[in-house]
Amino acid sequence: MELDPDDVFRDDDDDPENEALRQRASSKELVVYLVDASPKMFSTNCPSEDQKDESHFRIAISCILESLKTQIINRSYDEVAVCFFNTREKKNLQDLNSVFVFNVADREFLDRPTAKFIKELSRLEEFFVKEIGSQHGIVSGSRENSLYNALWVAQALLRKGSAKTADKRILIFTDEDDPFGNIKGGAKADMTRTTLQRVKDAQDLGISIELLPLSQLDREFNVSLFYADLIGLQGEDLAQFVPAAGERMEDMKYQLRKRMFKKRIVRKLTFSVANGVSIEVHTYAFIRPTVLGSITWLDSVTNQPIKIERSFICADTGALMQEPPKHFQTYKNQNVKFSVEELSEIKRVSTGQLRLLGFKPLSCLKDYHNLRPSTFIFPSDEEVIGSTRIFIALHRSMIRLNRFAVAFYGTSSHSQLVALVAQEEIIDSGGQVEPPGMHMICLPYSDDIRHAEELHSGTNAAIPRANEDQIKKAAALIKRIDLKDFSVYQFANPGLQRHYAILQALALEEDDLPEIKDETVPDEEGLARPGVVKAIEEFKLSVYGDKYDESDNAGHKKVSEASKKRKALADGAVQKSAQYNWDALADSGKLKDLTVVELKFYLSAHDLPVSGKKEDLVKRILTHMGK
């Protein structure tokens, strides 16, 4: 079966109305990676994971590469530039010395990352010495200041795009904590001053500058020598900086491949609390099934995208027509017609957007009262002053009294009875785990609830219930197989991760697929521990007696009526089918003289589909016989 990945992960809830809004609101990030390429960066003096010594330069590049590979999936509209300083060659718009902006064809210096860009960057070592070269840029006696130049180039690159819609960053990778150390006297002060001035200018333009220092084995990167001033570190932050930066490097490398979403307001709602008092709340899509990137149909010959054209054809006359304005439903043997306006009028059942109906104890909210992902609600005083205060008061009361609110959420296109569940803020060492606010949960209607559990009742005999001992054994078992610190966020979606890995491998023409670990498989080892095995055996003995294995088999033996019938039919067909000389019939072209029933004997005897017209059946038989 062909599974359309888009279909599997489709988010049918997202509102098309808001699509445009999302596109505009999501601002992008413009990043310039400034990598120090001085000879010092190439000395191998940093032990890597597999105990092989690696140069700082290589670490920086692999870090950028990993980050790019995630970024191309997460936020592919972000733009990046990779720029080396302290180089022999120069390549930049300003034609400044010792600065080399790395790039590939068909791409501006600062542009979206492409597969080619990533691939070339990963091959960097092969041509770095020849085409770029490493050289100390700041030497005493010369007025040249490569760091200054690099910052200037980066700033010029980031001129693109308005400061409003883009986040602009410069990331500096270096292991030189005192870039002007070789310079003496007034020249040093001068260079320091101009460089800092350059940084200030950049910051004034809304560019943030970050430093990722690479420490030497024997000597830690001393931020206070120069860079503290550059990035504006003071006091306590200063001490924290180097270890924290180390963590950030790790983070950059091991990010999950997932598309990132900017926090955006899905909707601004009026929440009518009582008698004409309405407050303003904003809704946010907190948890939504992730969909793969969009799929484009291509012509496999030219690899060009295909245009999909939709046309409407009248079934009676075959005439081509415009999108019809009316729809109909066959009812009581007549076609009842509806105009689009009438249909939308039917759906508009509520005038307010979110209307409070009352409160209920939390125990009334059952586990099966769910249809789709919840939506988060947070108050805002932007348009209606006083909203936050009422919201917080209700929030606190609901938590204290263990109640949730029932409300009717109605928009022009969709309406639903919802539960509003107050959530208290939860903070752990890593920050906010659950923000304070309310979660809006769609409640099903009676039409949406099914009663499958009642299907199999109906016999006189009461359904068996577990006894005390069996429950006790089950409890012991549950205690044994306990996931203590389970968090819903802990598993990555293996299907999705695999998808991205394959995509990356194909796009970058990598030879082997990156290994994706399926985190969702049970811990077989843990389950084989004697304590667990003992609890399982005791439970089995208590519930199944010594018949566990029999019951296992019995399940297989018990076949439903329908499948028994099917089997009998197939058996019959095999017997009947044996009465014909199919080969001869096929060769003499006499198959078509048989009846459909007869043809089906062959098909069912060979487990082939029996649907279709007689011609299809004959064709199918011939294909199966290989003729």
Smallest distance, other proteins to C-beta of residue 255, A: 11
Smallest distance, other proteins to C-beta of residue 591, A: 28
> Hunting for tokens 């029996």 — which residue is that?
610
Nearer to other proteins, 513 or 568 (CB): 513
Smallest distance, other proteins to C-beta of residue 240, A: 20
Smallest distance, other proteins to C-beta of residue 235, A: 17
> Hunting for tokens 């016999």 — which residue is that?
459
Let me know: does 260 contact 75? Beta carbons within 8 Å: yes
Smallest distance, other proteins to C-beta of residue 603, A: 23
Report residue 317 as tokens. 């006359």
Smallest distance, other proteins to C-beta of residue 84, A: 22
DSSP of 549-608: HHHHHHHHH---HHHHHHHHHHHHHHHHHHTS-HHHHHHTT-GGGS-HHHHHHHHHHTT-
Smallest Cα–Cα separation from 337: which of 329, 346, 347, 349?
Answer: 329
Smallest distance, other proteins to C-beta of residue 244, A: 18
Report residue 352 as tokens. 């307010």
Smallest distance, other proteins to C-beta of residue 139, A: 26
Let me know: does 180 contact 226? Beta carbons within 8 Å: yes
Smallest distance, other proteins to C-beta of residue 620, A: 20
Nearer to other proteins, 184 or 566 (CB): 566
Nearer to other proteins, 421 or 585 (CB): 421
- Considering only the C-alpha atoms of the chain, give the largest distance between any 2 of them, rounded to a whole number of Å: 108
Nearer to other proteins, 52 or 558 (CB): 558
Let me know: does 253 contact 68? Beta carbons within 8 Å: no
Q: How many other CB atoms are there within 10 angstroms of residue 480's CB atom?
A: 17
Nearer to other proteins, 537 or 616 (CB): 537
Smallest distance, other proteins to C-beta of residue 177, A: 26
- Identify the three-state secondary structure at position 347: helix
Report residue 178 as tokens. 């005192």
Smallest Cα–Cα separation from 187: which of 223, 232, 222, 138?
Answer: 138
Q: Is the alpha carbon torsion for 457, 462, 464, 469 positive or negative? A: positive
Let me know: does 79 contact 68? Beta carbons within 8 Å: no
Let me know: does 77 contact 112? Beta carbons within 8 Å: yes
Nearer to other proteins, 539 or 582 (CB): 539
Smallest Cα–Cα separation from 355: which of 421, 405, 305?
Answer: 405
C-alpha to C-alpha distance for 271 and 387, rounded to whole angstroms: 9
Nearer to other proteins, 475 or 569 (CB): 475
Nearer to other proteins, 391 or 602 (CB): 391
C-alpha to C-alpha distance for 394 and 388, rounded to whole angstroms: 10
- Identify the three-state secondary structure at position 333: coil
Nearer to other proteins, 247 or 468 (CB): 468
Nearer to other proteins, 330 or 579 (CB): 330
